[in-house]
Amino acid sequence: MALRSCVVCETSAGASHYCQIDGYDYLLCGECGLIYVDQLDKTENIYKAYSGGGVKSLRRRLMAPFRKHHHDGGYHESVARAKEIFAFAEQQVTSQGKYLDVGCNKCYLLAQGLEKGWDVHGCELVPELTAPFLNSYPQCKENVHQGRFMDMRPQFNNETFDLISAIDVIEHFEDVITDLNGIFEILKPGGAFVIQTPDVACQEAKDLGGKWGALKPLEHLHLFDIDNLTTLAKRIGFSDVQGYGEPFEHADGNFVAILRK
């Protein structure tokens, strides 16, 4: 079977086997350094990795109608993290307006946006994660969408959002080119797209190789560094890509970037 093409270089000519984890093969593009899953699993199997599956998912669904945002374990730590991230993101634009968080998870960034007076929107694959926020902020129920970004994309006109974030998200995109194109289209000229994602150029990735903690083949489908992300983003149409010195969390080795339109 032919190897899947690198989404950055648009060819498999430079691709080679990098490692195998749980029966899934990761490839390394010898041209740009992208590490990516060769054969993606079925979408429904990928989603099970996000929901936790089984008892954990059932417990979340059963409790979701009764929980408020402040009931979340680690609430104060999550608020502090969100304050830091949103303050950084907000500094990347010159005016306040519409904000979208892709993969909004438990909606802490949306809560910060609301506090700062933004018109907030989000999308999340696991709806029970968003329920406590929506129980606390029912005015946002029409603005938080269940499902993949590419599925909610048609709901928005081009050049709708002043600010978009995707924190620990783009590595999960199944069709990364379609998703980044969609984000570019709905971002206003002068707007900013702020991301954090695992960094294949980090020291942990270099030292650990196939044992690097970010290699999770049902979740992390495309793993970038600042250089190959810049190449892809500029091909899509972003005018500038700027790496930021420190990630919001180090985790297994992340980088932060601002993509401008």
pLDDT tens profile 120-129:
999 999 888 9
Long-range Cβ pairs for the range 89-95 (8 Å, 24+) = 89/163, 89/165, 89/192, 89/194, 90/116, 90/163, 92/163, 92/192, 92/194, 92/258, 92/260, 93/162, 93/163, 93/190, 93/191, 93/192, 94/190, 95/162
For residue 254, give the nearest of 228, 226, 230 by alpha carbon: 226
Separation between Cα atoms, residue 97 and residue 90, nearest integer Å: 10
- Rounded to whole angstroms, how far apart are CA atoms 32 and 36? 12
Query: DSSP string covering the chain, please?
Result: -PPPPPTTTS-STTEEEEEEETTEEEEEETTT--EEESSPPPHHHHHHHHH--HHHHHHHHHHGGG--GGGSTTHHHHHHHHHHHHHHHHTTSSS--EEEEET-TT-HHHHHHHHTT-EEEEEES-HHHHHHHHHH-GGGTTTEEES-HHHHGGGS-SS-EEEEEEET-GGG-SSHHHHHHHHHHHEEEEEEEEEEEEBTTSHHHHHHGGG-TT--TTT--EEB-HHHHHHHHHHHT-SEEEEESS-S--TTSEEEEEEE-
Q: Please, what are the domains in the chain?
A: 15-260 (3.40.50.150)
CA distance 239 to 28: 27
> Which of 31-35, 46-50, 94-98 has the lowest average pLDDT?
46-50
List, for residues 225-243, the tens digit of each pLDDT value.
Answer: 999 999 999 999 999 999 9
- The per-residue pLDDT of the chain, averaged, comes to 94
CB 122 within 8 A of CB 145: yes
| Segment 100-146, tens digit of pLDDT | 999 999 999 999 999 999 999 999 998 889 999 999 999 999 999 99
- Nearest Cα to 200, choosing from 228, 176, 238, 174? 228
pLDDT of residue 96: 94
pLDDT above 90: percentage of residues in the chain: 84
Res 55 pLDDT > 60: no
